[in-house]
Chain A
């Protein structure tokens, strides 16, 4: 049966500003299906974003939403969660916003293991500002500021999140539309910092500079490169070189930050 997205969308806001074929729309739909599956109450849910194409997402959805300073979404979300620990806090942003400009806030939110769900739309580029290369632009690829190829090594967002201490890390792509909502729902149900990295396509500023004929070509390359976690475990490092491992990459139980902080408050009051 057709899913009723309208009940979660702000009336009169569509069509959205994203370019034709942009994967952010696919992620937005996945996010709404995940929220529906987890039966989150609209009034008790906050969706926070920074600046960028992906960060325009909260503007379309009918929840408590916060559109904050560039890269600072995790910091604002931490504030919300600390003030109202009973709220469901979700953060949405792009690769440039999340791990370049906001890299500091991102790693420390992971380290604290604060109970929020961070959905990173990794489209390998700064789309909104004109296609500058980001830390996620693959080495050798072209961006408006790397016309001869990007010399930089790439940030692996999922590995960064695991290394920084996030207790739930998953990865999918815009091709795997049916998997996106399941991973985000798992992340929402997880108690602690959940990072869901979704590789998506920016046909306008990344695709056309890197010889993709269409957005469908971009999606099909995800299909070819994606390897589920279980299969990846049986493959060698060389075989995985040009592949994208998808699924739940990491899950552990660790004390959650708000609960730890509540203990500190309790101790201080009892003195």
Chain B
């Protein structure tokens, strides 16, 4: 299975950092008031970020 692809919708992200805190493999980091994908290869596709994001700002695409 290939590594899932993360899509950040920047105009929706409010920088609450919930996804960063709940990611079990530290794929995400805060970059000022926006979230940034810093270690895409570490993503295990657990969907925690997408499930918990209150702002519809992150999507996990699995092929």
Contacts and interface: CB of A to CB of B under 8 A. Distances in A.
Q: Do the two chains belong together in a single complex? A: yes
Interface of A: 1-3, 5, 9, 14-16, 18-26, 28-29, 177-178, 203, 214-216, 219
B54 A26 contact: yes
B60 A215 contact: no
Contacts of B57: 15
A214 B53 contact: no
Contacts of B59: 2
A14 B55 CA distance: 8
B34 to A, nearest CB: 11
B62 A2 contact: yes
Given A15-B11, A178-B51, A29 B16 contact: no
Main secondary structure of the interface of B (DSSP, over half): loop
Given A15-B11, A23-B54, A29-B51, 9 more contacts: A5-B56, A14-B55, A15-B55, A15-B57, A20-B55, A21-B54, A25-B53, A25-B54, A219-B18
Contacts of A203: 16
B39 interface: no
A104 B49 CA distance: 39
Contacts of A14: 12, 55-56
Contact of B16 (A16, A21, A178): A21
Nearest to B60: A2
Given A1-B62, A2-B59, A216-B21, A22 B12 contact: no
User: Considering residues A25, A28, A219, which has the most beta carbons from chain B within 10 angstroms of its beta carbon?
Assistant: A25
A16 B17 CA distance: 17
Contact of B56 (A25, A177, A219): A25
Given A5-B56, A25-B55, A215 B50 contact: no
A15 B16 contact: no
Nearest to A215: B16
A177 B51 contact: yes
A24 B54 contact: yes
A28 B59 CA distance: 16
B15 interface: yes
A28 B62 CA distance: 23
A6 to B, nearest CB: 8
B17 to A, nearest CB: 7
A22 B54 contact: yes
Nearest to A16: B55
Contacts of B47: 2
Contacts of A3: 50
A203 B14 CA distance: 13
A206 B54 CA distance: 17
A2 B50 contact: yes
B39 to A, nearest CB: 19
User: Considering residues B11, B50, B52, which has the most beta carbons from chain A within 10 angstroms of its beta carbon?
Assistant: B52
Interface string B6-38: 000001101111100110000000000000000
B14 A15 contact: yes
Contacts of A28: 54
B29 to A, nearest CB: 14
